[in-house]
Structure 1
Amino acid sequence: MPNRFTYLLLLFSLLNISLLPGCRKNDVKAEDMKPAFKTVGYIMIGRPDVVQSAAQIDFSMITHLNLAFVNPDSAGHFADNPVVHQLVKMAHAANVKVLISIGGGSIPAYFVDYLADNKRAAFVQSLVASATNYEVDGIDVDLEGSAINQYYAAFVKALSVEMKQRNKLLTAAVATVYGNAFPDDALQYFDFINIMSYDKTGPWNPSNAGPHSPYDMAVNDLAYWSGRSANKSKLILGVPFYGYGFGANNVTSSLPYSAIISAFAGAENNDQITMNDGEIMYYNGIPTIKNKTALALQKGGGIMIWELLQDAPGQTSLLKNIHDVIKQ
């Protein structure tokens, strides 16, 4: 049987081992604990050539793909869409997380009925079943304007419970213009929020011509939502891959970034161009996109893109320039 001296030697050895550099918890570097910076890209699944177009995306440059929009029919059911299955498979092959996005700016009028107390539980189960069917990694809630009603917080909470049980993400698309409508007790349930920092003006307001997504809007939007969220890693700054044009006699138009730079040499280095008919097209060129990405790195947790398939190829790609800034 060991004597007291043996016990003391053993105890001393154990204490020394516990103090070795490789065993100290505080040796973990702070940067290793930081949440990864996200690049979230939306795709409109209603495009006729969406699968072929998506195949041209360099998925190594994004972390999350949001498929917009997967909405119920008037009976609250979600029809199976083969296109969604194909896009999920494509993104997962590149280790990109995929979310189905519900709602949108042109939400079906009947959608909000399913948030009410008497329909919410069944609707949430139907939504969860759709997410399971598509084998996605989460759900993105893009409810805007009047759709953020008295039932919004209860809906988000109920959906969050189901998502967490399945280890899936729950995110939201938000805009500062109706930021006060979002209850604080709803925001806490989202893993992160995609800030729609664009559409300050547009074809719906032809008398208010000008930039729809200027840099100072991004600054102000991040500041506002920072005051609503305790963690900057949850703030994903949205940027547009399209422009709005304003001309005489209230003539307006919209164009994807790819079409703008294809028609006008050097347009990728500016934020506006005068078109052949005198209409002024406002958008975000490479310098502004880079500056916004740097801002998001400093003040937020990621960049969100509306919409990926509006990008240009090669060196003028906005996604490539976003990726270059992130990797600097």
Structure 2
Amino acid sequence: MAYFGPVPPPIPWDSRFQWTQPRRPSQPAVAESISNLMFKNAVYYPNYRVYRGETPASMNYNCISHVFYAFAHLSPDGGIFLSDEWADAQMEVDGSRAGCLGSFTRLKRQHQHLQLIISIGGGGASQNFASVAASAATRDNFGRSAKGLVDASGFDGIDIDWEYPNDVEQGRNFLALLAAIRLHLPDDRYLLTAALPAGQWALQNIDLYKAQDYLDFINLMAYDFAGPWSPTSGHHAQLFPGSAGEPSGSTAVEYVISTGFRAQKILLGVPVYGRSFLGATGPGQAYSGTAGEDGTFEYKDLPRPGTEEIIDRRVVAAFCTGGDGGFVTYDNPETVKVKAGYCREKRLGGLFYWTGTANAPPGPRSLVSEGFKALHNA
């Protein structure tokens, strides 16, 4: 297991990255100018997708500015380790014998604007964040380990996916963790981002105004507003609320901005999957169960066969009804274009997508490419 603890052991696959250029403040002028002018259009790449044949090279980097590589995991002492060393650093991927990380470093050489960020944690592996963030010693270990991982992989920074600080004390510790990371990953050389829920119930635990001193941007997870945990069916990624009190992307953005957090540091999340409610034909209805994995369908499999795709323009959400999914709520190119326009209007930093590999092939159904074009008014 490759481990990036406080005093990392020799990393046997480190030499495979020696051909990559070290990260420096003065990057090539072309890459810098592109990065500075473009809205961010970022995707998450989960490492397990390589086993489905969806390798890093399968995505279209002409319209992707950042890739978040998901996930590295966190040990109780603050050390960071690869969650799947074979997929991450050993198997042959896209002609590289250094796994997905090796493939991505090659892609970075081919696309000079591309920035690569390793995401740490995730919904299923965040259990150690609270205890690590509570101790100065383990916070420092985390920062040292993060630097070891980033420098070994040739990536540009890290993403904190702690889901999530669940009280004010953990929110304070979250800020202390960011401060400790910045001691080892200074902001003139490395990116530091965080994925955060799009709900005031979670965001209120963090002093976002202070957090922006450490973060380059946040990925606001503006989805999963409804699902199998909900008493009735509902849109899971609507931009605007259908009624007072309903969660929505715009409500989350407005709350974050109200704290003094700069709009240009917010990336609005787009789900590249739909949520299913069997037995329902629209939001606000009783439903009988779920379909697919945890009631989800990948976007590239939507709309479902034999159904019609419909757009609710009032809340900005797409859906289809019937077939094997009942009421399935998701984003489509038209809703993503509206969300991109909202980003432009509110001067946000851009969009991100979970996940890039669930997207449709390049063309008019691609959420990532249509979002990129709409962000840049192309």
The answer to whether TM tops 0.5 is: yes
1:89 CA drift (Å): 2.5
Note if contact 1:42-1:67 (Cα within 8 Å) is conserved in structure 2. yes
Whether contact under 8 Å (2:273, 2:298) holds in the other structure is yes
Name 2:232's counterpart in structure 1: 208
Q: Using the alignment, how far apart are the partners of 1:267 and 1:208 within structure 2?
A: 21
The change in CA–CA distance for 1:87 and 1:203 in structure 2 (over 3 A counts) is: farther
1:289 maps to: 336
CA offsets 1:189-213 (integer angstroms, 9 cap, x no match): 10111111111111233x2311001
CA shift for structure 1 position 174: 1.4
Aligned to 1:133: 152
CA contact (8 A) 1:238 1:305 kept: yes
The amino acid across from 1:251 in the alignment is: G
Number of equivalences = 296
Match of 2:192 among 146, 166, 170: 170
1:18 aligns with none
Residue number in structure 2 paired with 1:303: 351
Q: TM-score, normalised by structure 2?
A: 0.71
- The residue that corresponds to 1:327 in the other structure is 376
Residues 197 and 239, structure 1, Cα contact 8 Å, conserved in 2: yes
Give the share of equivalent positions with the same residue, in percent: 25
Alignment equivalent of 2:365, drawn from 304, 316, 319: 316
Take 1:99 and 1:141, find their aligned partners in 2: how far apart are those partners? 10
Pairing of 1:95-244 with structure 2 (within 5 A): 95=112, 96-115=114-133, 116-146=135-165, 149=170, 150-164=172-186, 167-177=189-199, 178-183=202-207, 184-205=209-230, 207-216=231-240, 217-244=248-275
Is contact 2:308–2:321 with CA below 8 Å preserved after alignment?
no
Q: Note if contact 1:245-1:254 (Cα within 8 Å) is conserved in structure 2.
A: yes
CA contact (8 A) 2:308 2:320 kept: no
Pick closer, same or farther for the CA change 1:327–1:130 going to 2, 3 Å.
same
Summarize the Cα distance change of 1:50–1:189 in structure 2 as closer, same or farther, 3 Å threshold: farther
- Distance 1:35-1:321 versus aligned 2 partners, 3 A rule: closer
**Which of these two proteins has the greater Rg computed from alpha carbons?**
1
Would you tell me which structure has more helix in proportion to its own residues?
A: 1
Paired with 1:142 and 1:110, the residues of 2 have a C-alpha distance of 12
Paired residue type of 2:265: K
Paired with 1:245 and 1:222, the residues of 2 have a C-alpha distance of 25
**Larger deviation: 38-47 or 274-283?**
274-283
How far is 1:327 from its partner? Answer: 3.1
Of residues 277, 286, 289, the one that matches 1:246 is: 277
Per-residue CA deviations over 1:133-172 (Å, capped at 9, x if unaligned) read 1111111111123467142111111112322166111111
Q: Structure 1-normalised TM-score?
A: 0.82
**Gaps (5+ residues) in structure 1?**
1-31
CA distance in 2, matches of 1:112, 1:129: 22
Aligned-pair distance for 1:265? Answer: 6.4
| Within-5 A mapping of 1:256-295 | 256-261=298-303, 263-264=305-306, 267=309, 271-277=318-324, 279-295=326-342
